[in-house]
Structure 1
Amino acid sequence: MSPKHLIINCDDFGQSPPMNKAIMHLLEERKVSSATIMAPAPGFEEAAEWCKRRGQANIGLHLTLTSEFDAIRWKSLTGDHSLHDESGYMHKTVEEFERSADTGAVMKEINAQYEAAQRFNIPLTHVDNHMGSLYGMATGRSHIPQAIRQCARWKLPFRLFRKVHPSDPLLATIPGVERIVAKASSLAGVFGVAIPDYLLSHPFHVLEGETYETFKQSMVEKMYDLPEGISETYIHPAVEDARMLEEVPHWQKRVWEYRLMLDDDFAYAIKDAGVNLTDYTYISKHGRASRVGSAVTLVRELLRK
């Protein structure tokens, strides 16, 4: 049996102090693989200063083009009008972003976010994307080719995936997802950008009737059902916060995710299931595909009707 490698990434590092507190703790205790930082968000400087002070070496860049919650809004770093809604903040939804954003402005913003992390001397290990805004899932207007080219220039892995796990509650339900994945992953291969084999999702919101215990059980089961190869899953951990619990939808799920990473039952499941917890340095070494083979696959997919 081939080994099973898993990356547990904390998204939204820098979103707010309650999220920063949880993510810093999990990174300090080595309960997670990595975190990705949001340069436009209000908690960015706190998170970046902490990374700089510690020389934290497992931090990625969370490319942020949307600002979804009324209670926590942020503007772009570049100020282009196409990246903002009528309130002057970044678009709330992916659909609004896809319909409104100028591609040139998107690329300038992505570069500005990278440069913001560089100013704090954060040794970035990878790149991913807040709310999947670059993937074209809402209207089909994707910025993935541009993002992949940029990651190639930065020499950083990117959160994509080569295969779809059949039991994934989100990705497996997207119509035509196999072809979409084949084209995107082969493009990454052509550009020499390393990616995981699988991306494993779970519901962002609290499901009807869901409790911490049922959520924990579902995540434990996922460890035993982990596919062979390199997988990544993502969480949005946060500490209890009265204002956030009241004003941010499904904040309780974030608190559960933080609690889960500290839960001995979950740690035991990882070990018992034979899962190797790793990070993006492993993907940098083992996550690249053949450029020639990728080019052949890409051409074949582009020619398919």
Structure 2
Amino acid sequence: MKAKHLIINCDDFGQSAPMNRAIMHLLEERRVSSATLMAPAPGFEEAAAWCGRRGQANVGLHLTLTSEFDAIRWASLTGHPSLHDESGHMHKTVEGFERNADSSAVGKELLAQYERVARYGIKLSHADNHMGSLYGTATGRSHIPLALKLCAKWRLPFRLFRKVHPGDSLLSPIPGIDRAVGKASALAGVMGVAIPDYLLSHPFEIQEGETYERFKQELIGKLYDLPDGISETYIHPAAEDAEMLKKVPHWAKRVWEYKLMQEDDFAYALKDAGVVLTDYDYVRKHGKASRLGSALSLARELMRK
């Protein structure tokens, strides 16, 4: 009998002190599965030092090529001009990154981010990508092959997915998403990179008329609709902070996510829905596909018109 496994990953660890406080708390209480570190961000040193002291085993690398908020901006670690906008910070949008970034510079930056985390003695559990900048969603210029090549070298699972869950309101409407996912997941299989089966997303922004209670019920409802296999969902939890609330768009949604993970209702729903909270160590052990089967799948996808 198949089981429903779910990873709840905290993105943007190291973005700022209020986010660090929330994520550290959730990791300490084991309310979430994992978190991913932003090596270029201003709160990185605090987050990385905490992980190093604790020997935190369920922390990954949030590959970061964009810097979207006026209130919190950062530059690349390598300083290549193609990775920056006119302000000297990383591009604010995925489109800006895709149109301007030199591919060689991207590779060097990703390696520098990995090496910065490694200097803190952190044994990474996986890698994923901030704002989906490597996926080619804005212009079609994808850096997924590069990301998978590095993950194969580092022996890390990566946030991709094999199938689009039909109930995912953000991913399922995207034209051609099934074919794009098929090619990317087959390439991961060929390269020996473990990935989850599904990615369950929800809007980053507060939707018109959305309240905390409505948001809470939506996410709890997803638990009961979870498919068999390994799924991941990601959150951006943050502690309440008056300054961030004024300066960062939709900061309240981050506070909602932090609050929800502490709710007994959410913990009860996980058990009631038969969902097993797991982490990327489980993906490492169970998320690899046959290389031969993946090669055949990739060939079929590439031959399709």
TM-score category, normalised to shorter length: over 0.9
**Deviation at residue 277 of structure 1 after TM alignment:** 0.1
Amino acid of the structure 2 residue aligned with 1:63? L
Equivalent AA in structure 1 for residue 6 of structure 2: L
The match for 2:136 is 136
Q: Secondary structure at the match of 2:91?
A: coil
Secondary structure in structure 2 of the residue aligned to 1:36: strand
For 1:18, the equivalent position in structure 2 comes to 18
RMSD of aligned alpha carbons: 0.4
The match for 1:169 is 169
Structure 2 match to 1:214: 214
Mapping 1:145-156, distance limit 5 Å: 145-156=145-156
Query: Alpha-carbon deviation of 1:270?
Result: 0.4
1:272 maps to which residue? 272
For the pair 1:120 / 2:156, whether they are aligned, the reply is no
Deviations 1:33-81 (A, max 9, x none): 0000000000000000000110000000000000000000000000000
Q: 1:287 is aligned with what amino acid? A: G
Match of 1:58 in 2: 58
Q: Distance in 1 between matches of 2:103 and 2:171?
A: 25
2:231 counterpart of 1:199: no
For the residues of structure 1 that align with 2:78 and 2:238, how far apart are their CA atoms? 28
Report deviation, 1:259: 0.1
Task: Quote the offset at 1:173 in angstroms.
Answer: 1.4
Q: Which amino acid is 1:100 matched to?
A: N
Distance 1:101 1:168 in 2: 30
Residue 182 of structure 1, CA deviation? 0.4
Instruction: Name the CA distance, whole Å, in 1 between partners of 2:168 and 2:130.
Output: 19
Match of 1:245 in 2: 245
Deviations 1:277-299 (A, max 9, x none): 00000000000000000000000
User: Per-residue CA shift, 1:211-253, capped at 9, x if unaligned?
Assistant: 1100000000000000110000000000000010001000000
Paired with 1:106 and 1:130, the residues of 2 have a C-alpha distance of 14
Question: Quick one: distance in 1 between partners of 2:51 and 2:167?
Answer: 36
Indicate the residue corresponding to 2:69 in structure 1. Answer: 69
Distance 2:175 2:72 in 1: 32
Shift of 1:169: 1.4
Query: Is structure 2 residue 105 aligned with structure 1 residue 105?
Result: yes
Hey, which bits of structure 1, 4+ residues long, moved more than 2 A? none
Determine the C-alpha separation between the residues in 2 that align with 1:231 and 1:167: 13
CA distance in 1, matches of 2:169, 2:69: 23
Which residue identity lines up with residue 142 of structure 1 in the other structure? S
What is the total number of aligned residue pairs between the two structures? 305
Q: Give the AA of the match of 2:120.
A: F
The letter for the 2-side match of 1:66 is T
State the shift of 1:144 in Å.
0.2
Amino acid in structure 2 at the alignment position of 1:70 = D
Of all paired residues, the percent bearing the same amino acid is: 76
Query: Which residue of 1 is the match for residue 79 of structure 2?
Result: 79
Q: In the TM superposition, what is the alpha-carbon distance from 1:186 to its structure 2 partner? A: 0.2
Task: Give the structure-2-normalised TM-score.
Answer: 1.00
Q: Which residue of 1 aligns with 2:282?
A: 282
| Equivalent-residue separation in structure 1 for 2:173 and 2:67 (angstroms) | 25
What SS is found at the alignment partner of 2:10? strand
Q: Report the alpha carbon displacement of residue 167 of structure 1 after superposing the two structures with TM.
A: 1.2
Structure 2 distance, partners of 1:76, 1:123, is 22
**Number of the residue aligned with 2:182:** 182
Give structure 2 stretches of 5+ with no counterpart.
none
What's the TM-score, normalizing by structure 1? 1.00
**Secondary structure at 1:171's aligned position in 2?**
coil
In the alignment, the residues of structure 2 paired with residue 173 and residue 57 of structure 1 have an alpha-carbon distance, to the nearest angstrom, of: 36
Tell me by how many angstroms 1:300 deviates.
0.5
State the distance in 1 between where 2:214 and 2:44 align. Answer: 33
- How far does the alpha carbon of each residue in 1:130-163 deviate from its partner, in whole angstroms, 9 at most, with x for none? 0000000000000001110110000000000000
Q: Find the aligned partners of 1:160 and 1:296 in 2 and give their Cα distance.
A: 19
Three-state SS of the structure 1 residue aligned to 2:172 is helix
